[in-house]
Amino acid sequence: MGGTQSLGLPHGKGPHAVGCTDVMVGQNQKGLFFRLFYPCVSQEGAEQPFWIPRYEYYCGLADYMNMNRKWCAPLLSVTFGSCRIPVSWDAPLKPSKNKYPLIIFSHGLGAFRTVYSSVCAEMASRGFLVMALEHRDHSASATYFCKLEPEASDFPEAPVQEEWLSYRGVPKDQKEFRFRNPQLHQRANECIRGLKLIRNIKAGKAAVNLLHTDFDLSLLKDNVDLSRLAVMGHSFGGATAILALVKEAQFKCAVALDAWMFPLENSLYPKVTKPVLFVNTETFQTADSLAKMKKICSMNEETKLITILGTVHQSQTDFTFLAGNLVNRVFQTRGTINPYEGLDITNRAALAFLQKHLQLKEDFDQWGGLLEGVGDAVIPDGPLQKSSL
């Protein structure tokens, strides 16, 4: 059989070793659940977390793909069950005199907090804290929250009960926009809640992580720079990032990876006055969607739109590396470009953009040409131009 089966997730290319931990706060659906990627103290022989954290997510992916859980979940588990993320689980945070800028990351439809580990780990290796949310609007293929047994509320160590939320498609009797737009607002509000949590930690309030990891959240107090704050996301998460940028004054800029523009209401476009970087893949965007991006581009000359040639919608997720040939053929997880090269372009463009708009003193401006669509496999604007050549 020709070609590699699966490639393995890339390691971060920056100077920092990367750690990650999971955080869940609040004992109801209105709490917050995320994976934190961060620069860590290098650990010899540290545990690397599994890419798919629990079996329930395989069931959720089966639901999202409209497949029978009975055979699909075990098949996904065999395919991906041994995949690990090349980061150190629960490693100590590396203290920083300059403090780390923060990126809040929003996942796409049917995804969850670990599906963008390649992008998140790369950003952390470059000196960012990355809060990869797991949204509770029923757009994740699966997620859960913890609730205390009512009689156990007097005991802080009492066992918590998990309640799982499954993926929901658009009901047959409902217009898609009417279903997706409220989800979008919930997602943007969850991004803002993530920021509020960090604000509270910086103000010295204790955050209780229900998941009892070894990571000390209070260390974030002196190591996060909330004047350097960006929001980022893929697909539905790209639209979420744009809405969060409008809703929350503290977000300086947004990086929208192959944004799904459909759920954004038209009245929002004139309000997107802060810089956005649109990094599109070659095959996903429609003319209508690109027209919406152009409207946003007209609001600020620092807003940029580029397309990476040879990429597909999944090229900006971990699936592009981990799906073998069969899965790739069925689900189009890989384009014609080398997956590592495609993701490098995405990451470098994002880093150059973040350096500019968060005023970072790094060398990411070496990739500034990408923001103008200059470079191999990248063009300015959308892919539709090519047909007119």
List the catalytic residues. 235, 258, 313
Token look-up 């191999």 returns: 376
Calpha distance 171→311 (Å, rounded): 31
How is 308-319 classified by DSSP, letter by letter?
A: ETT--GGGGSTH
- Give 333's contacts (C-beta < 8 A, 6+ positions apart): 312, 314, 317, 319, 320, 323, 327
* Max intra-chain CA distance, the chain: 70
Rounded Cα–Cα distance for residues 304 and 296 (Å): 9
CA distance 271 to 249: 12
Please, are residues 215 and 273 in contact by the beta-carbon 8 Å criterion? no
Report the run of H or E that residue 25 belongs to, with start and end. strand 17-25
Rounded distance, CA 204 to CA 207, Å? 9
| Short-list 312, 296, 230, 231, CA closest to 261 | 296
Q: Is 377 left (phi over 0), alpha (psi -120 to 50) or beta?
A: left
Determine contact, residues 140/53, Cβ cutoff 8 Å: no
CA count, 13 A, side-chain hemisphere, 333: 20
Q: Do residues 113 and 52 lie in contact, with contact meaning Cβ atoms separated by under 8 Å?
A: no
